Structures are given as structure tokens and as C-alpha cells.
């Protein structure tokens, strides 16, 4: 049986996955400013895919993008976080 190759995720999505993991595992705390330069250096990526990743996370309501201030981890209730994790789990299962 021929299996189709799986295309790799675009770089901004990979970076978003990394930052999402930091948020979910509480390594980035609610209200904490996301240090773009440090994450870009850690992942060895330019700031362009990092900023695209932050836009993805803003659409997911995990970060707030503040003009001239950067990105900040949102302060969500425990129920909101549980609901988001349920949705992510179901989407990843597809």
C-alpha cells in the first residue's frame, strides 16, 4: 500500500506549537510578557516566523498582542483553559 508523505508543518506553526506548550505547561505564566528575542534564539529562527506564530496564538486567545509592547500571555480562568485543551486535543486527533 502506498502511503502519502506527510508534509512538514510550516515554521510559524512549529513555533506556535512550542510557545503553546510553554503556556500549557505553565512555563510562561499568565500576564507574562513573551520575550521574542529569547525564543527566536532558542529555536534558531528569525523574528518573522515568531511573530506569525504569535498571531496564531492570539487568534487562539492564548496571547494578547499589545501595540508597541509585544505579546503577553492571557490570564484565563481554569475553565477556559480546560475548554481550550479539550478543543486542542480533539483537533489533534483529526
Return the C-alpha cell found at 93: 486527533
Q: Is residue 1 part of a domain?
A: no
**H or E element at residue 73:** strand 70-73
pLDDT at position 75 = 87
Q: Is residue 2 part of a domain?
A: no
Q: Is residue 17 part of a domain?
A: yes
CA angle, residues 49, 87, 51, in degrees to nearest 5: 15
The CATH number for 45's domain is: 1.10.10.10
Distances (CA, A) of 58 to 3, 40, 50, 62, 70: 35, 18, 12, 6, 11
Give the other-Cβ count within 10 Å of 43's Cβ: 16
pTM for the structure as a whole:
0.78
Q: Is residue 48 part of a domain?
A: yes
> How far, in Å, CA of 72 to CA of 19, rounded?
12
Q: Is residue 34 part of a domain?
A: yes
pLDDT at position 28 = 94
User: Residue 87 sits in which domain range?
Assistant: 11-93
Nearest to 34 by CA among 60, 66, 82, 76: 66
pLDDT at position 1 = 56
Number of folded domains that form the chain:
1
pLDDT in tens, the chain (94 residues): 567 777 889 999 999 999 999 998 889 999 999 999 999 999 999 999 999 999 999 998 899 999 999 999 998 777 777 777 787 778 777 7
pLDDT at position 89 = 79
Question: Mind listing the pLDDT tens digit for each residue in 27-53?
Answer: 999 999 999 999 999 999 999 999 999
Amino acid at each position: 500500500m502506498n502511503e502519502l508523505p506527510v508534509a512538514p508543518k510550516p515554521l510559524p506553526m512549529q513555533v506556535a506549537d512550542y510557545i503553546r506548550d510553554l503556556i500549557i505547561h505553565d512555563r510562561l505564566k499568565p500576564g507574562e510578557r513573551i520575550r521574542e528575542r529569547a525564543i527566536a534564539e532558542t529555536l534558531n529562527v528569525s523574528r518573522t516566523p515568531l511573530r506569525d506564530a504569535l498571531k496564531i496564538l492570539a487568534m487562539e486567545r492564548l496571547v494578547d498582542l499589545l501595540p508597541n509592547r509585544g505579546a503577553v500571555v492571557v490570564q484565563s480562568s481554569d475553565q477556559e483553559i480546560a475548554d481550550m485543551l479539550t478543543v486542542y486535543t480533539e483537533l489533534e486527533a483529526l
